[in-house]
Amino acid sequence: MRLTWRGAEFRLLLPILLLVPLGFLVTNIALTGALETGDMTLAVGFVALFVVAHVVLVASGHRGDQLILPAVGALGGIGIIMLNRLPQDLAGTSAFGLELGMAATQLLWFAVGMIVMLAIAVGLRDDGILRHYKYSWAAIGIALLAATLVLGYEVNGARLWIDLGPVSVQPGELLKIVLVVFIAGYLAETRTLLTSARMRIGFLSIPPLPYFLPMLVLFAAVMLIVVVLNDLGTALLFFGTFLTMLFVATGRRSYVLIGLILFVAGAWVAYQLFGHVQARVDVWLDPFADPLGAGFQPVRAIYALGRGGVFGEGLGQGLVTLGGSLTIPFVHTDFIFTAIAEELGLLGAFALLGFAMILVFRGLRIAALARDDFGALLAAGLTASLGLQTLIIIGGNTKLIPLTGITLPFVSYGGSSVVASFIMIGLLLAISHRSGSADEEAAG
């Protein structure tokens, strides 16, 4: 193993990491009105994490993509600055004899996630374990779902959480990854069959069903359970990721079209059948119809976006609480984008979207350069999942689509989400390393 001097990564990390302590400083001045630095422990800790990650990648001679880590640093940096600015008692942990506030807890999860990411990025030299045991992965996924169904408890009407003593985890976050691994494995194997066989109904070429069946059955089962768990955001994310991977594997727009038609039909049926789906769509269409009841969150989010304007109210100067309660409930998870857009304005929102886009396009680049079909499909699937999740939650914040309770990767508060996102980055780095593309990139 030889050192790789990851110069691009270093040069990009430098300004991003300097901005995080600056963000903490500005927040502290705005909140206290005193020209003092305040407690910088978390900012320093955040910087240290990324420095350590960079050093480990350099030391292990990692040749993976060099823009991924800075993009994650930027997203996570904006996130930790905002979480540090919000009231610290919104979330937190009192496990292991520690009393940690929200931002500190998030940083702790960043550390855990970073370790897992590095272990995968550096340690996963052979993806056979992923590819060959795809049905085992599927079984694990089903087991996770079953566990949620049996052991899970509800938060806000959706049963997503399992209590594991000191921490609660959302198995759905891990299921997301397992599902992508399974589908990538399955499609890599059957891709040729799927593209060569042709069945047509009118202008649509429909999938050769027999080859699809195992995957469709499994996927349908997962979707059904997720819908039963009332986790509509995750259902939408799974479905979108699935369609995207199908498109990447086959290149058939018609498959996506059929999928979308099925989705619209399914959504219509759900709207007719389930009161809570109907309620959510109605709130989406006209949140101002009940601004103090069902429409409270979306209405408050819209106002926060309006207050932010182009330049934002400034860090620490947004209207986070009103009379002792949050202006927007769940601002630290579902509505973190809104809080950022309020304080950092449209410019900050664009910066956030820009960093997410960089992450997505580097992920797609890894997929395009991958050495084999499995790696390509896995990278594309992971990237699509991260990208769609970002689009779904931000689109929900801006009322572009109905709001669903999923996290903004690396930005929202939440341990399961952070760790899962880091696992995905670890896998992307591992695939990227195997295609050995980093050196040329760094030279360019």
Partner 1 sequence: MIATNVRRLGVYLMLAFAVVSASAVWWQVIEAHSLSIRTDNPEVIAARRSLPRGTIFDASGQVLASSEVIDGLSRRTYTDPAFTHVLGYSSLRFGTTGIERAFEDILVGQTDPNPIRDLIGDVLDRQPQPRDLTLTIDRRLQDFAAAQLGGDAGAVVAIDPQTGAILALVSAPTFDATPISGDPNGAQEPMDALRNDPAEPLLARARQGLYVPGSIMKVFTAATALDAGAITPDTTYENQPREEREGFVVDGFAIREHDLGGIQPALWPLSPALQVSSNIFFAHVGLDIGADTFLDYARRFGFCAPMRIGPPDRGLSVAASYVTEPVDGDCGPFRDNVELASASFGQGRTAVTPVQMAMLAAAIAGDGVAPNPYVVRDVRSHSEDGSPTDQVLETFGSGGGTRVVSSATAAATRAAMVDAVNGELGRLYAGQADVTLYGIGDARSAGKTGTAELGGEQAPHSWFIGFAPAEQDATPRIAIAVLLERGGSGSAGAAPIAGRIMAEWLRLSAGS
| Distance, CA of 12 to CA of 170 (rounded, Å) | 32
* Of positions 13, 367, 403, 429, contacts partner 1 by CB under 8 A: 367
Position 258 contacts partner 1 (CB under 8 A): no
User: In whole angstroms, how close is the CB of 303 to partner 1 at the nearest point?
Assistant: 5
Residue that has been written with the tokens 């030889």 in this structure: 2
| Distance, CA of 121 to CA of 129 (rounded, Å) | 14
Position 220 contacts partner 1 (CB under 8 A): no
Residue among 141, 111, 5, 91 nearest 330 (CA)? 91
What is the helix (H) or strand (E) element at residue 155, kind and residue range? Answer: strand 153-155
Q: State the burial class of residue 310 (Cβ atoms within 10 Å of its Cβ: 0-12, 13-18, 19+).
A: exposed
Closest to partner 1 by CB, 251 vs 436, is 251
Position 358 contacts partner 1 (CB under 8 A): no
* Of positions 87, 123, 157, 309, contacts partner 1 by CB under 8 A: 309
* Of positions 194, 258, 302, 382, contacts partner 1 by CB under 8 A: 302
CA distances from 225 to 10, 28, 147 (A): 44, 45, 11
Position 13 contacts partner 1 (CB under 8 A): no
Position 57 contacts partner 1 (CB under 8 A): no
Closest to partner 1 by CB, 86 vs 394, is 394
* Of positions 175, 376, 429, 438, contacts partner 1 by CB under 8 A: 376
User: In whole angstroms, how close is the CB of 382 to partner 1 at the nearest point?
Assistant: 12
Position 434 contacts partner 1 (CB under 8 A): no
Q: What count of other Cβ atoms lies within 10 Å of the Cβ of residue 97?
A: 5
DSSP designation for 90: G
Tokens read off for 204:
């649509």
* Of positions 207, 387, 415, 426, contacts partner 1 by CB under 8 A: 387
Q: Would you say 411 and 352 are in contact if contact means Cβ atoms under 8 Å apart? A: yes
* Residues within the interface to partner 1 (CB under 8 A): 244, 247-251, 291-292, 299-300, 302-303, 305-310, 319, 322-324, 327, 341, 345-346, 349-350, 353, 356-357, 360-361, 364, 367-370, 373, 376-377, 380, 384, 387, 391, 394-395, 398-400
